[in-house]
Amino acid sequence: MKNIYKSWKTTLLGIVLIGVGIGYVFVNASPDYILMSILIGVGIGFVFSPDSVIELRNAIIVEESQDWKEKFSQLQKLYDKLKAEFEAYKKKHIIK
C-alpha cells in the first residue's frame, strides 16, 4: 500500500486506465471485452508499479534519440559527400 501513495505518477496513470476500461464498456453498444480486460489489467499493473518504470522509459528514449541524432548526422555528411562527388563526375563525364 505504501507504493500506491509514494509512486503517485504510476498510480494516477493506472487509475485513469482502469477508468477508461470501465467507461469503454458503458459508452460502446458492443464493447470488445478483450480490450477492456487489457486496459484494466495494465491499469492494475501501473497502480502497483513504482515510478521508476516511467523514469526508465524516459532514460531509454533519451539514449535512443541521442544515438539516432549521431547516426543521422553521419548519414547526412555521407550523403553530402556522395552528392558532391556525383555532381563532379557528371560535369566531367557527361557530354553536354
pLDDT at position 37? 93
Global pTM exceeds 0.85: no
pLDDT at position 3? 58
pLDDT digits (tens, 9 = 90+) for 78-94: 999 999 999 888 888 87
pLDDT at position 22? 92
3-state DSSP of the chain? CHHHHHCHHHHHHHHHHHHHHHHHHHHCCCCCHHHHHHHHHHHHHHHCCCCHHHHHHHHHHHHHHHHHHHHHHHHHHHHHHHHHHHHHHHHHHCCC
pLDDT digits (tens, 9 = 90+) for 19-78: 999 999 889 888 888 999 999 999 999 888 887 877 776 666 666 666 777 888 888 999
Nearest to 54, CA basis, from 11, 20, 21: 11
